[in-house]
Chain A
Amino acid sequence: MKNFSYAILGVWLIAVLAGHVMHLDPNAIDLNVVLHGPSALHWLGADDLGRDLLARILSGVQVSFMVAMVVTAVTMVVGVFVGLLAGFYGGRVDQILMQITDIFLAFPGILLAIAFAAVLGPGLDNLIFALCLTGWVSYARLTRGQTMSLRNRQHVLAAQSLGATVPRLLLLHILPLIASLLVVEATYSLASVMIAEASLSFLGLGIQAPHASWGAMLRDAVRYMLVAPHYVLIVGACMMSLILAINLCGDYLRDSLDVRTEKQI
């Protein structure tokens, strides 16, 4: 299963690169092949505008990866920064920052993202912004807890007594110790951001036509489930395989970084 998930992830990463090399046009419309099934010309069939499904899936996965990477990077930086400050200083700073975090946590993340996307309007920039606004809280909570447990460690106190500044303490003495946890969290975040992007696009709040997005493709495909089942099955299978592979990779990464797992073996 481990090798299988790595293989799936590898295939998708190659597909992203291949999409650039193959020069497929995901927006080329051919009304003569609307909703046609897989053929020699269109390996995965054609969509409701006669566009090549393979080209659109490859284009869609690039968008998904890009959105997931940007959102994960931004939310990680923001969340870690908030968590480090709250965990290190404690007291009033911790109270204020965590109350803000709790406000964001009080709403279901996807619902909040839908609300933001609806207010900001559809489009890729606004989609990324909406997902960033809601995605940082899990990093903040995780980092704060870890920082609180690390800030009184001997090496941190030693560095502090030697005159290390707060940024130096945080970046060189605390952050490296929680980096592995953050990397694992980031893999889960990648998958959840992909699902969130697809959900928002499914609702028409994400990427705008004619650009390809898996969520928007799934939304269109559902309408033609009776007449072109290949459309919804292919898009659904692609999405499922990629997200499953990322989640499994996250599991294996967590296991490999967890010292207790090694001891049990």
Chain B
Amino acid sequence: MKWPFLFYILCLINLAACDRQVLPDNDVQNAAIKFAIAQSPLNLDPRYATDASSERICRLIYQSLVDFDASMRPIPQLATWNAVSAQAYQFNLILSRNVFHHHEPLTADDVKATYDSLVGLKDSPHASEFANIHHIAVQNQDTLTFYLKQPDAHFAEKLIIGILPKRLIEAGHDFSRQPVGNGALAFEHWQNQLRLKRVADGQEVVFHEVKDSTVRVLKLIKGEVDLIQGDLPPELVKYLQSQPDIKVLSTTGSNFSYLGLNVQHPVLSRLKVRQALAHAIDREALIRQVMVPDTRVAGAILPPEHYAGNADLRAYTYNPRMARQLLIEAGIQLPLKLVYKTSTDAQRVRFATILQAQMRPAGIDLQINSLDWGTFFSDIKHGNFELYGLTWVGIKTPEIYEKAFGSEYFTPRGVNRGRYRDATLDAFLLEKDWRSVTLRIHQQLPYIPLWYEGQFVAFNRHIKNYAPKSDGNWDDLATISHDAH
């Protein structure tokens, strides 16, 4: 009798150990905030950062000359500016913000050194954006002027690269692993986990990489981490919403998901076929059943609240009968066979399978070809596709319309991957008549718009001052705190 009894006692002790981690109030207030992310940042040098985690953390460590307001209009962050001429922009630094984490002042020389070094980097993915800079002239400690080779009305909006200290650039400092900026959070340590410290009050934030979504959720529920954001299937978001100790906040997003088309394909070059595809997708049902909260139907790359957005675009309704009729009118012999390329991501394959089922009644036989990311993206970049599904992430400026649909922006010069050519659209783009541009694209369908995915964050109830943002950034880590009560 004695041994089974001891065994039960040990089991109870183990079960108790499996409970949530509960800390005393003082410890809660002083503890580091643990943020579970699906993918660790790859490079914290803002001149090289391209992955989502790196870009979001760079926004916290560094500050740039320019940022964006809620309607995505450029606003000063480190500097105000004015166009001296069509090819010259003068920037005046805002003095109150200009100190790096290693206590050296941020001056116009640092700005010049940052952009000079960026233009000179052959392996930076951002360097080509600034190839139009002729030279940068520093007038004084707080004033500098960018001189351009060609006029560019959107030049100021591009200056979103974090500013680095000139002395460290010249010393060849490794910003990718030991970043030094002047943002709200300062780099502290990076070995397995990235640790940052808030400059204002010393609050630490630790980033834990947890790749598996189920494990991320379990860690949050158990209290091993304090918050998670995005990268979860909608079912797990609903599951978190039902947990008493977890708070889930969501907001509308601005990342645009779409179907890309090869408009030089003999069938897809016909407008009626593209319209048929647009009418063969039941976006409402997809959003309702298999998308995260606050996902909404999209009409254009930039959302309606953007200053270049168009709220009057009407979504294509799901009407398989009309789609079938359009295909017949286009002279297509049914079923129309098309290959849809996507990545091997489970949620992407899930969408593809639903699209395949929704298009079948319209007489479209969609063949799914799910490829590893490298092969998939290489195929897309080289125009080796009929149909594909992708998402534009973090797009801020209407210049994207020119790059994605302009006749002179076929890959590799731009991102017009479907090789769409339209003289009318080119004229609208030249006039920067965004309303006409979005309407024309909506009518001609070089892309088939799907949705803007909602953004959400889930955190333990003792966390406060954090909310999701439309582009999924983590800017509120600058204000997040524990609530001891």
Q: B370: CB under 8 A from chain A?
A: yes
Q: Across the interface, do A227 and B353 meet the contact criterion of CB distance under 8 Å? A: no
Q: A29-B354, A31-B354 are in contact. Are A219 and B346 (CB under 8 A)?
A: yes
> Binary interface profile of A, 26-40, with partner B (CB < 8 Å = 1, else 0)?
011101101100000
Q: A223: CB under 8 A from chain B?
A: yes
In whole angstroms, how far apart are the Cα atoms of A24 and B289 in the complex?
A: 24
Which residues of chain A are near B346, meaning CB under 8 Å?
219-220, 223
Q: A225: CB under 8 A from chain B?
A: yes
Which residues of chain B are near A31, meaning CB under 8 Å?
285-286, 288-290, 354
Q: A52: CB under 8 A from chain B?
A: no
8 Å CB contact of B289 from A32, A223, A226: A32
Which residues of chain B are near A118, meaning CB under 8 Å?
372
Q: Across the interface, do A226 and B214 meet the contact criterion of CB distance under 8 Å? A: yes
Q: A48: CB under 8 A from chain B?
A: yes
In the complex formed, the residue of B with least CB distance to A224 is B235
Q: Across the interface, do B368 and A209 meet the contact criterion of CB distance under 8 Å? A: yes
Q: Across the interface, do A227 and B239 meet the contact criterion of CB distance under 8 Å? A: yes
B186 CB, nearest partner CB in chain A, Å: 37
Q: B321: CB under 8 A from chain A?
A: no
Q: A90: CB under 8 A from chain B?
A: no
Question: In A191-244, which residues have CB < 8 Å from any B CB?
Answer: 204, 208-210, 219-220, 222-228
In the complex formed, the residue of B with least CB distance to A34 is B289
Which residues of chain A are near B344, meaning CB under 8 Å?
122, 204
> Binary interface profile of B, 284-296, with partner A (CB < 8 Å = 1, else 0)?
0110111000000
8 Å CB contact of B218 from A29, A34, A204, A226: A226
Which residues of chain B are near A209, meaning CB under 8 Å?
349, 352-353, 356, 368, 370
In whole angstroms, how far apart are the Cα atoms of A228 and B233 in the complex?
A: 13
Which residues of chain B are near A7, meaning CB under 8 Å?
none
Q: B217: CB under 8 A from chain A?
A: yes
Q: A172: CB under 8 A from chain B?
A: no
In whole angstroms, how far apart are the Cα atoms of A121 and B379 in the complex?
A: 14
Q: Across the interface, do B368 and A223 meet the contact criterion of CB distance under 8 Å? A: no
Q: B50: CB under 8 A from chain A?
A: no
In whole angstroms, how far apart are the Cα atoms of A204 and B375 in the complex?
A: 14
A-B pairs with beta carbons under 8 A, tally? 68
Q: A49: CB under 8 A from chain B?
A: yes
> Binary interface profile of A, 172-190, with partner B (CB < 8 Å = 1, else 0)?
0000000000000000000
Interface of A, secondary structure class, is loop
Which residues of chain B are near A27, meaning CB under 8 Å?
357
Question: In B273-289, which residues have CB < 8 Å from any A CB?
Answer: 285-286, 288-289
> Binary interface profile of A, 4-38, with partner B (CB < 8 Å = 1, else 0)?
00000000000000000000000111011011000
How many residues belonging to A are interface residues under a CB distance threshold of 8 Å? Answer: 26
Chain B: number of interface residues, binned into ranges: 20 to 34
Question: In A28-80, which residues have CB < 8 Å from any B CB?
Answer: 28-29, 31-32, 34-35, 48-50
Q: B369: CB under 8 A from chain A?
A: yes
A216 CB, nearest partner CB in chain B, Å: 9
Q: Across the interface, do A226 and B352 meet the contact criterion of CB distance under 8 Å? A: no
Which residues of chain B are near A29, meaning CB under 8 Å?
353-354, 357
Which residues of chain B are near A225, meaning CB under 8 Å?
214
8 Å CB contact of B217 from A32, A210, A226, A228: A226
Q: B213: CB under 8 A from chain A?
A: yes
Q: Across the interface, do B236 and A227 meet the contact criterion of CB distance under 8 Å? A: yes
B377 CB, nearest partner CB in chain A, Å: 15
In the complex formed, the residue of B with least CB distance to A27 is B357
Q: Across the interface, do A49 and B354 meet the contact criterion of CB distance under 8 Å? A: yes
Which residues of chain A are near B356, meaning CB under 8 Å?
209-210
Which residues of chain A are near B352, meaning CB under 8 Å?
209
Which residues of chain B are near A50, meaning CB under 8 Å?
289
In whole angstroms, how far apart are the Cα atoms of A209 and B345 in the complex?
A: 12
Which residues of chain A are near B289, meaning CB under 8 Å?
31-32, 34, 50
In whole angstroms, how far apart are the Cα atoms of A95 and B7 in the complex?
A: 58
Q: B238: CB under 8 A from chain A?
A: yes
In the complex formed, the residue of B with least CB distance to A203 is B344
In whole angstroms, how far apart are the Cα atoms of A31 and B351 in the complex?
A: 12
Q: Across the interface, do B214 and A223 meet the contact criterion of CB distance under 8 Å? A: yes
Which residues of chain B are near A226, meaning CB under 8 Å?
214, 217-218, 236, 239
In whole angstroms, how far apart are the Cα atoms of A35 and B356 in the complex?
A: 19
Question: In A112-143, which residues have CB < 8 Å from any B CB?
Answer: 118, 121-122
> Binary interface profile of B, 355-382, with partner A (CB < 8 Å = 1, else 0)?
0110000000000111110000000000
Q: Across the interface, do A224 and B370 meet the contact criterion of CB distance under 8 Å? A: no
Q: B73: CB under 8 A from chain A?
A: no
B156 CB, nearest partner CB in chain A, Å: 43
Q: Across the interface, do A122 and B235 meet the contact criterion of CB distance under 8 Å? A: no
Which residues of chain A are near B314, meaning CB under 8 Å?
none
In whole angstroms, how far apart are the Cα atoms of A222 and B352 in the complex?
A: 19
Question: In B286-330, which residues have CB < 8 Å from any A CB?
Answer: 286, 288-290
Which residues of chain A are near B218, meaning CB under 8 Å?
226
A218 CB, nearest partner CB in chain B, Å: 12
In whole angstroms, how far apart are the Cα atoms of A46 and B63 in the complex?
A: 49
Which residues of chain B are near A32, meaning CB under 8 Å?
289
Q: Across the interface, do B370 and A204 meet the contact criterion of CB distance under 8 Å? A: yes
In whole angstroms, how far apart are the Cα atoms of A27 and B352 in the complex?
A: 13
In the complex formed, the residue of A with least CB distance to B368 is A209
Q: B135: CB under 8 A from chain A?
A: no
Q: B350: CB under 8 A from chain A?
A: yes
Which residues of chain A are near B354, meaning CB under 8 Å?
29, 31, 49
In whole angstroms, how far apart are the Cα atoms of A41 and B286 in the complex?
A: 22
B282 CB, nearest partner CB in chain A, Å: 9
In whole angstroms, how far apart are the Cα atoms of A228 and B236 in the complex?
A: 10
In the complex formed, the residue of A with least CB distance to B345 is A204
The 3 closest A-B pairs by CB, nearest first: A31-B289, A204-B344, A29-B357
A-B contact list, 21 entries, CB within 8 Å = A29-B354, A31-B285, A31-B286, A31-B288, A32-B289, A34-B289, A49-B350, A118-B372, A121-B371, A122-B344, A204-B344, A209-B356, A220-B346, A223-B213, A223-B214, A223-B233, A223-B346, A224-B233, A226-B217, A226-B218, A226-B236
Given A122-B371, A209-B353, A210-B368, 8 extra CB contacts under 8 A:
A31-B354, A32-B289, A49-B350, A208-B368, A209-B349, A209-B370, A220-B346, A226-B214
Chain B interface (Cβ < 8 Å from any Cβ of A)? 213-214, 217-218, 233, 235-236, 238-239, 285-286, 288-290, 344, 346, 349-350, 352-354, 356-357, 368-372
Chain A interface (Cβ < 8 Å from any Cβ of B)? 27-29, 31-32, 34-35, 48-50, 118, 121-122, 204, 208-210, 219-220, 222-228
